[in-house]
Amino acid sequence: MKLSFSKLITIARGTLLGLFARRAGWPVMIGGSVELKGLRSLTLGNRVMIGSYAVVGRDVVLGNLSSIGRNTYVDNGVTIGDRVSISRNCSLVTSTHGSDAPDRRAGRARFVSPLRIGDGCWIGTDVVILPQVTEIGAYTVVGAGAVVTRNLPANVLAVGNPARVIRELPPLPITQPAGRSPVSQPAPDTQADEA
């Protein structure tokens, strides 16, 4: 396998990041000018990629074989499953401030609720996921430019502003990702007794 110099640099950044993160698999590829707000609370699986100019908040978990695209904002408390693709220019927002009290209108953010994105999801370019959303089901596809205002079930295609389900997708077989995910539950013991 031939590696370019720029790819080696992105892997080197990821390797250095692994020294400080809560947990980091290998290889981890980090693009240039990435802002990691909660490095010590960051958990990364194996073979993950964070694109250039991305901003990643505190208590973020990124599962195996998953990626965060260029110029994407991931707020605090987001758990991203295995084999998830988040395209460029997305915003995954979990914090907000109310408009009823003057101190909240002044811009003091308050944490609303964590967001969980299930395994195998595909979040298209320029998608915005708003704070009241707590779950995007496994193998769900969110079309480009969608604004997600409520939870989405598994195996659906959602598009529009606000995002709405336009069709169900056929369920995909569950496959074992490469390496062990920080998101997945441990597999039950499958060894047979030898007689």
Among all residues, which ones are annotated catalytic? Answer: 97
What is the length of the chain? 195
Beta strands in 76-178, from DSSP E residues, in sequence order: 78-80, 85-86, 91-92, 95-96, 110-111, 115-117, 122-123, 128-129, 135-136, 141-142, 147-148, 156-159, 164-168
Query: What CA–CA distance (Å, rounded) separates 112 from 190?
Result: 39
Whole-number Cα distances in Å, 80 to 2, 110, 129, 139 = 29, 21, 13, 12
